[in-house]
Amino acid sequence: MVSRRAAIQTASVAFIGLLVVSAIVAGYLAVTTSKPTAINSTSSSYGTSSSAANQIYTAGPISTWPASWTNPCRLPVHGNLTTNNEILSSFAPGVANFSLSQVYSKIVNSSAFRNVSAGLSWVTTYWGLQQVSGPNGSYEYVVATFVLVSEGKPAGYVQANYNLQTGEVTADFQSGLVSSCPARISSSTGTALDKPSPAYYATGETVKITFSVIDDTVANMLVASPSSCLGNFTILQGIGTTGPVVYDSTKHGGCRGTPLSVILNPGQSYNQTLTWNQTDDAGAQVQPGSYEAMGIVAGSSQTYLSPIGEVYVGVPLLPVNSAILRQQFYYQGNLGNDFMSPGQPVKIVWVLSNSGQQAYELETSACSYSYKVLDLKGSVIFDFANHASCANQLQDNPAPPMGGISHVSYWNQTKTSGATVSPGFYRVLVDLHVWSGGHEFNMTADSDLEITSSNIPLSGEQISVASSSICAANCGSNASPHLYSSVYANGNLTSLQLYLNGTLVGAMSYKLHCCQLSYQVSFNTPIDTHNIPIVPGISYDLVLISTFQDGGTSISWANPLNR
* CATH code of 218's domain: 2.60.40.10
Q: Do residues 213 and 158 both lie within one domain?
A: no
Give all strands of the β-sheet with 153-163 in edge-to-edge order. 84-85, 121-134, 137-150, 153-163, 169-174
Bridge-based pairing of strands 199-201 and 169-174 is unpaired
Q: Cβ-count burial of 272 within 10 angstroms (0-12 exposed, 13-18 middle, 19+ buried)?
A: buried
Three-state DSSP class for 420? strand
Residues 154 and 488: their CA atoms lie apart, in Å, by 62
C-alpha atoms less than 13 angstroms from C-alpha of 495 in its C-beta half-sphere: 9
Asked whether 261 and 222 are in contact (CB, 8 A), the reply is: yes
Q: Quick check: is 23 in a domain?
A: no
Residues 404 and 399: their CA atoms lie apart, in Å, by 4
**Count, residues in the chain:** 563
Q: Do residues 206 and 109 both lie within one domain?
A: no
Q: Which of 293, 312, 336, 326 is nearest to 396 (CA)?
A: 312
Q: What is the pLDDT of residue 300?
A: 61
Q: Do residues 66 and 149 both lie within one domain?
A: yes
Residues 509 and 494: their CA atoms lie apart, in Å, by 6
Q: Quick check: is 117 in a domain?
A: yes
Asked whether 183 and 219 are in contact (CB, 8 A), the reply is: yes
Q: Do residues 372 and 433 both lie within one domain?
A: yes
Q: What is the pLDDT of residue 442?
A: 92
Q: What is the pLDDT of residue 524?
A: 81
With vertex at residue 36, the alpha carbon angle to CA 35 and CA 42, rounded to the nearest 5 degrees, is 115
Q: Do residues 307 and 387 both lie within one domain?
A: no
Q: What is the pLDDT of residue 435?
A: 92
Q: Which residue range is the domain that position 405 belongs to? A: 319-451
Residues 525 and 484: their CA atoms lie apart, in Å, by 7
Q: Which of 382, 386, 361, 378 is nearest to 441 (CA)?
A: 361
Q: Quick check: is 41 in a domain?
A: no
Three-state DSSP class for 470? strand
Out of 134, 156, 174, a domain closes at 174
Q: Quick check: is 519 in a domain?
A: yes
Q: Quick check: is 468 in a domain?
A: yes
Q: Do residues 332 and 409 both lie within one domain?
A: yes
Q: Quick check: is 531 in a domain?
A: yes
pLDDT tens digits, one per residue of 290-312: 899 999 887 665 567 888 988 99
Q: Do residues 365 and 479 both lie within one domain?
A: no
Q: Quick check: is 42 in a domain?
A: no
Q: Do residues 496 and 396 both lie within one domain?
A: no
Q: What is the pLDDT of residue 559?
A: 67
Q: Cβ-count burial of 233 within 10 angstroms (0-12 exposed, 13-18 middle, 19+ buried)?
A: buried
Out of 401, 423, 451, a domain closes at 451
C-alpha atoms less than 13 angstroms from C-alpha of 143 in its C-beta half-sphere: 15
Q: Do residues 161 and 244 both lie within one domain?
A: no
Domain count, the chain: 4
Amino acid occupying residue 250: T
Q: Do residues 246 and 304 both lie within one domain?
A: yes
**pLDDT beneath 50: ranges in the chain:** 1-56, 93-96, 177-185
- The DSSP letter of residue 52 is H
Q: 367 preceded by cis ω (within 30°)? A: no
Asked whether 228 and 271 are in contact (CB, 8 A), the reply is: no
Q: Do residues 188 and 308 both lie within one domain?
A: yes
Can you list the alpha helix ranges (DSSP code H) found in 433-474? none
The β-bridge partners of 426 are 449
Out of 130, 145, 174, a domain closes at 174
Q: Do residues 334 and 399 both lie within one domain?
A: yes
Q: Cβ-count burial of 445 within 10 angstroms (0-12 exposed, 13-18 middle, 19+ buried)?
A: middle
**CATH code at position 403:** 2.60.40.2360
pTM, two decimals, is 0.60
Q: What is the pLDDT of residue 377?
A: 79
Q: Which of 150, 142, 92 is nearest to 123 (CA)?
A: 150
Run of H or E including 115: helix 111-116
Q: Quick check: is 24 in a domain?
A: no
383-396 burial, b at 16+ Cβ within 10 Å, e below that, comes to: bbeebbeeeeeeee
Q: Which of 124, 114, 45 is nearest to 87 (CA)?
A: 124
Beta carbons within 8 Å of 388's beta carbon, 6+ residues apart: 94, 96, 366, 367, 370
Q: What is the pLDDT of residue 136?
A: 57
